A and B are shown apart, each in its own frame.
Chain A
């Protein structure tokens, strides 16, 4: 079945540094990828939608200069947390779809736990 690989699964970084998280669709072409953030015992909050070859669309309240998203190919999207601070510590999850919505169910990565010290 379709697989989305997210890397790394865990990362610890110092405050002020940048961290890149990768999301790859392994056996299908993902025209759209979504990035979510999940705090402990809370729901998934959509941060941004990225479409291959175009700029990402950010949700209200998400700083586009802080959370840089690149979707350079149909199999790879990256989220870079720039100048990370402790409040950016969270669980980040990507999902990928082929744009067909209901009949092309979204596939989720295993998530990345980011800890900023």
Chain B
């Protein structure tokens, strides 16, 4: 079974600064995908960024980027130029590739607070 671990229950950052959220995972599979989701106080789950395991290049989406270290099974999220609207719970998630049917395994979450 796959497991996802987020070791930082809470983090805070000043507006406009950069923050990195950590995520590690454990799997014996070679074909898989990794995701970061954001859950603001509204509880709506929002996809932030995604990474295919076979791609060495780190994914980037505007102010959000990942540091994917496959050998270390690490998948951290960097948020640059933090904004107040980035305040949310962030979940790292794992999905097996192939015909697994989009089943996600989530980490425990990191509550990020952006301070003005």
Q: How far is the CA of A93 from the CA of B37 in the complex (A)?
A: 14
Flag whether B44 is at the interface (Cβ < 8 A).
yes
Of A18-26, A74-82, A99-107, the segment with at least 4 beta carbons within 8 Å of chain B is A99-107
Residues of A within 8 A of B43 (CB): 91, 93, 110-111
Q: Which of B68-116 contact A (CB under 8 A)?
A: 91, 95, 97-98, 100-109, 111
Nearest-CB residue, chain A, relative to B111: A41
Q: Which residues of A contact B98 (CB under 8 A)?
A: 101
Q: Which residue of A lies closest to B9 (CB)?
A: A41
A93→B106 CA distance, assembly (Å): 13
Interface of B is mostly: loop
Q: Which residues of B are found within 8 Å of A111, using beta-carbon distances? A: 43-44
Inter-chain contact B106/A101, CB cutoff 8 Å? no
Report yes or no: B104 in contact with A106, Cβ–Cβ below 8 A: yes
In the complex formed, the residue of B with least CB distance to A113 is: B43
Interface residue tally for chain A (C-beta within 8 Å) = 24
The listed residue (B95, B102, B104) touching A99 by CB distance below 8 A is B102
Can you report 30 residue pairs joining A to B where beta carbons are below 8 Å apart?
Answer: A34-B104, A41-B109, A41-B111, A42-B108, A43-B106, A43-B107, A43-B108, A43-B109, A46-B103, A46-B104, A46-B105, A49-B103, A51-B101, A95-B45, A97-B101, A97-B102, A100-B102, A101-B97, A101-B100, A101-B101, A101-B102, A102-B33, A102-B95, A102-B97, A105-B47, A106-B104, A108-B45, A110-B44, A111-B43, A111-B44
A residues apposed to B, CB below 8 Å: 32, 34, 41-46, 49, 51, 91, 93, 95, 97, 99-102, 104-106, 108, 110-111
